[in-house]
Amino acid sequence: MGGIDVTAALYAFLFYIATLLLVVGTGMKIRRYAKAPAPLKIPTMPAPRTQKGVYFRMFREVAFFESLFKSNKWIWLFGYLFHLGMLVVLLRHIRYFTFDVWWWVELIQPFGIYASYLMIIGLIGLLVRRIVVERVRYISSPSDYLMLLLLIGIAGSGMLMKFVMPTDIIMVKGFFLGLIRFQINDLPSSPILLVHLGSVAFLMIIFPISKLLHGPGIFFSPTRNQIDNSREKRHIAPWAKKLEE
Name the residues that contact ligand HEM, by CB under 6 A: 86, 89, 92-93, 96, 112, 116, 119, 151, 154-155, 158-159, 161-162, 166-167, 169, 172, 176, 196-197, 200
Q: Calculate Rg over the CA atoms of the chain.
A: 22
> Which CB sits closer to ligand HEM, 116 or 226?
116
Let me know how long the chain is.
245
Contacts of 118 (CB under 8 A, 6+ apart): 81, 82, 84, 85, 88
Residue with Cβ nearer ligand HEM (125 or 222) = 125
Whole-number Å distance between alpha carbons of 90 and 78? 18
Amino acid at 56: F
CA 113/CA 158 separation, integer angstroms: 10
Q: What angle do CA 230, 233, 234 make, to 5 degrees?
A: 80
Q: In the bound complex, which residue of the shown chain has the CB atom lying closest to ligand HEM?
A: 158
Burial class, 89, CB count within 10 angstroms (exposed 0-12 / middle 13-18 / buried 19+)? buried
